[in-house]
Amino acid sequence: GEQVEQRPPHLSVREGDSAFIICTYTDSATAYFYWYKQEPGAGLQLLMSVFSNVDRKEEQGLTVLLNKKDKRLSLNLTAAHPGDSAVYFCAVKDTGYQNFYFGKGTSLTVIP
């Protein structure tokens, strides 16, 4: 089955710096890619979704890169601020299936 590895598990950056998170997956049939944010005591909130025909997507200070050859998905938060402190999860899904596979999360701390 699909294996999703996410790193780093913990990340600390200063306000205004960038934060970079990577996920790798194993199944070449994976077609849908997601990044979620989880704040303390809350559920997961979708940040961005990407289909496999997209290599790069930018929205509101977030950049998602997809490298299908290397089976790698990344999230870059530019100019991080303390409100970005949370746990971030990547998730992937195959075409035609409804099971999502999650990374184990990255706990991001943005230091003022």
Partner 1 sequence: DMKVTQMPRYLIKRMGENVLLECGQDMSHETMYWYRQDPGLGLQLIYISYDVDSNSEGDIPKGYRVSRKKREHFSLILDSAKTNQTSVYFCASSLEGDEQYFGPGTRLTVL
Site residues, partner 1 (CB under 8 A): 6, 9, 32, 34, 36, 41-46, 49, 89, 91, 93, 96-100, 102-105
Find the shortest distance in angstroms from Cβ 1 to partner 1.
9
Instruction: Using the minimum distance from each CB to partner 1, give the nearer residue, 81 or 104.
Output: 104
Find the shortest distance in angstroms from Cβ 110 to partner 1.
21
Find the shortest distance in angstroms from Cβ 102 to partner 1.
5
Ordered DSSP codes for 18-86: -EEEEEEE--TTEEEEEEEEE-TTS-EEEEEEEETT-SEEEETTEEEEEETTTTEEEEEESS--GGG-E
Instruction: Using the minimum distance from each CB to partner 1, give the nearer residue, 99 or 112.
Output: 99
Separation CA 30–CA 34 (nearest Å): 11
Find the shortest distance in angstroms from Cβ 14 to partner 1.
26
Instruction: Using the minimum distance from each CB to partner 1, give the nearer residue, 11 or 17.
Output: 11
Element containing residue 93 per DSSP (H, E): strand 86-94
Q: Which of 46, 51, 45, 14 is nearest to 31 (CA)?
A: 51
